[in-house]
Amino acid sequence: MRIPFARISPKNPKSRLAAAAVATVLSLTPLAACGGSSGSSGDSKTLNMWTFKQSHVAGLRNAAAAFKKQTGITVNIQAYGPDDAYSTKVQAAAKTNDLPDVLEVHSDGDDLVWGATGIAKDISADVDSAWNGLYQKAVQTSGTVTAEKYKESLPTDSKSHGVQQGQRFSVPFTAGTFGIVMGNKTMLAAAGITKPPTTWEEFLTDLKATTAKDPKNGGLSLGLKVKATGLTWVLQPLAFAELGKEKYQALFGQDAAADFSSADGQKVLSLYDEMQPYWMPGTQSLDIDGADQAFAQGKAAWDIGGTFTLSYLQQNDMNPDNVMAFGLPAPQNAAVPKPALGPIALTSLTVTSTSSHPDNAEKWMKFLSQPSVAATFAKDATEVPATELGADTAAVMGPTLADMTKTFEGGTAETTYDPSDNSFRAATYDQDSMGVVLADLTPLKQKSVASTAADLAKLNKSFWATSK
Amino acid sequence: MTTAPRPALTEAAAAGRGKDPRPAGTGRLGRAPRPRRRGYESLSGYLFVAPAVVLFLVMGLYTVGYGFLLSFATWNGFSPSWTWVGLQNYKDLLWANPMYAPQVQKAAIHTFYVMVAVPLLTVLVSFPLAILLNSAKRFQGVLRSIYFVPYVTSGIAVFFAWTYILQPDGAVNSLLSTLGLGSLSQPQGWLGNPHTALPTMIVVTVWGAVPVSMLLYLTGLQTVDRNLLEAAQLDGAGWWRTNASVVWPLLRPITAIVVLLNLRDSLQGFQTFLVMTNGGPGDHTNVLGLEAYTLAFLKDLAPTLGLASALGWLLFAAALVIALINLRMLRSRT
């Protein structure tokens, strides 16, 4: 039996060959496409920028319009979220040589890690003192491989292994902090609360009042589906205030007499466990945006987030003036009764190493750091800019955001909680794993304080044991 | 026709049996193709096969081999070189590393529950459903389409919709309250309670698996010999007995396929878990597939790609064993 295709053109085998060749080329096209072209703009008058913050897009586009007027360079802004999806997208784009020119990144985290992998370009030679001087003093070294960061990078299993001291992979863009409590003023007033609590105990009393007033919607919302939020936004600042800097850091150290299994560790876990009756129903299944959205929709009277939360609340039709904001208060008789929350760089801007026009990319980053541009962006996005705005700060940011920034004030090195300081933890420390253990204490009620303390200490020990 | 024995073939005739009786060079079939034309045909044949071969070599063999080698190294996906660690990744996952082994063990237990429950429930739901649909006198096509809806609509959006339905103020709790069964509702949501989260995920997985299984059973039911069913009825077997003692054993190969497909999905699938719970609350719905994905892509570029690859190969080994057991059982029963 003859195969059918042989009859198609029996007198012209060359046409068969041509057909086969075309089939081969067409079949291999997808493979060729895998090579991809660079996502970086090809021409000198266009830049591409990615961000993971949807709430930044409008402000960035407004800034991009002003930048085009000034320089003739068009900046295309694209948002990809949530954070995990953004991180995966950047990694995939780096593999396929499809990165944009500029990335917005988590400060002093992604930037250094991506610098170590070659995704982010070292811009230390280009960020001079005049440019760096535009930023708030507290965030001026953000994105730089300081001596401390270099030391953290030395173990081979460190995520930033390979960076060199003095390199710089980003400049700060927004600043702020975590551990800011927000209350719905209307719901709080209905429960008789008109001013922020000054102690942890007062805060719990207020929580009790709102949940008594409205058992269904009077609770506290926190995006615990993101595993580390309970740990980093509540337990850590609470432990810092209760124990003081040294003992707080010792919780994550190698000394069994001072880690989570110690009396100090159990004490702070007991304090954290006191929140159990006041969680909003289902808060453990919500991600950060979902929890903020629930608060904006009146499904919770309280929300814990950061200075960056207000923009999302506003985006979800909540009036910022209806938000009472304050830093997580310290327990009575705490070692640090009035802790300050250290302003840190929250997001930064980095130039990708594959950018065709790194000079233009840096020009755009420098433009965003100008006080007038930063002030406009701050208004558009309801964010605290990393740029120093001087006396205009309160006027630019509005009263609620200005209230949040008050948590930055009055601290010393010993009384200011700095969430970006990881120098006292093991190189392989994984906050998500710690967060999973903590969730079993509250809100899941699967473990006692003692067994949670033991499990946290055991896990912490394993980080030290595996740090090379 | 004759019953007389045929004469034995002569040697020459026997040797020539089956050969073209026509002399060479006469007739189209007997003509040998010219060498040049034969060469063209071979070349075009190879060229037509080439794309598939190249795709398999690049997408299949290369990536499989690459992944296998990676399971013996540590790498973050970007650093210029791999660090060879031999079997350490496998040891770390199974027992040696206190950072990973307990998580993997817990995920393995969850995966085991899913592997047992999903195939079992899928068979328990889809077989009776197929019997009922097959015996429906009217609207058979419409009913089949309705029951097939979960398959054609399955996707990210549907699983997001499920998360809303299962929330504390979602449709499931509302329905229970409306029916006066408020005591059964979950105040923390069906995915928020560590005791109901995994069973709920199993139910959602079964919901997505039933349509295809039902279709396979329906296909099998078309092949059942009606004479057998009539014979059973003549022997006094009722509806239940006929289906339990005649139809069910006849469809055992279909059941084996349904079980195998769902075992494989339960072992390796994780998308539903990623979208709906991300392993939570806490890690009460973490499964091995999700753990491998997390190790590969959600560790902030920590050098854990080798661990993810090793976990992938462990899953492959488990799937292979299950497939062999299933094949063995299938052979012994059929």
In this complex, the residue of A14, A116, A439 whose CB is nearest that of residue B281 is: A439
Domain housing B183: 88-333
- Radius of gyration over every alpha carbon of chain B, rounded to an integer in angstroms: 29
Residue B190, in any domain of the structure: yes
Answer whether A277 touches B (CB < 8 Å): no
CB B99 to CB A430 under 8 A? yes
* ipTM score for this prediction: 0.80
- Number of Cβ pairs closer than 8 Å across A and B? 144
Residue B6, in any domain of the structure: no
pLDDT tens track for B120-154: 999 999 999 999 988 877 777 777 777 777 777 76
Which among A147, A102, A131 is positioned nearest to A348, based on CA atoms? A102
Distance from CA of A117 to the nearest CA of B (A): 5
Which residues have a Cβ under 8 Å from the Cβ of A47 and sit 6 or more positions away?
A41, A73, A74, A75, A76, A100, A101, A102, A357, A360, A361, A364
Beta partners for residue A168, in sequence order: A144
CB B40 to CB A16 under 8 A? yes
Q: Which residue has the tokens 């928020």?
A: B192
Residue B232, in any domain of the structure: yes
Residue B10, in any domain of the structure: no
Contacts of B51 in chain A (CB under 8 A): 23-24, 26-28
Positive or negative, the CA dihedral A365, A144, A375, A304 is positive
Predicted confidence pLDDT, tens digits, chain A (468 residues): 333 443 444 455 566 656 555 655 555 554 444 444 445 666 678 999 999 998 899 999 999 999 999 999 999 999 998 888 898 899 999 988 899 999 999 998 889 999 998 999 999 999 999 999 999 988 999 999 999 889 888 888 788 888 999 999 999 999 988 889 999 999 999 999 999 999 999 999 999 999 999 999 999 999 999 999 999 999 999 999 999 999 999 999 999 999 999 999 999 999 999 999 999 999 999 999 999 999 999 999 999 998 889 888 988 999 988 999 998 999 999 999 988 887 889 999 999 999 999 999 999 999 999 999 999 998 888 888 999 887 767 677 777 777 777 777 777 888 889 888 888 999 889 999 999 999 999 999 999 999 999 999 999 999 998 876
Task: Please report which residue ranges of A83-199 form alpha helices under DSSP H.
Answer: 83-95, 110-117, 129-132, 147-153, 185-190
The CATH number linked to B234 is 1.10.3720.10
If you count DSSP H runs as helices and E runs as strands, how many of each does chain B have, helices first? 16, 2
Residue B67, in any domain of the structure: no
Residue B60, in any domain of the structure: no
CB A157 to CB B74 under 8 A? yes
Residue B41, in any domain of the structure: no
Contacts of A117 in chain B (CB under 8 A): 76-79, 301
Residue B45, in any domain of the structure: no
Sheet holding A344-351, edge to edge: A74-79, A46-51, A102-106, A344-351, A171-176, A384-385
Which of B36, B76, B104, B294 best probes binding to A when mutated, by most A CB atoms within 10 angstroms? B76
Count of domains for chain B: 1
How remote is the C-alpha of A251 from its chain's centroid? 23
Are the C-beta atoms of A460 and A434 separated by less than 8 Å?
Answer: yes
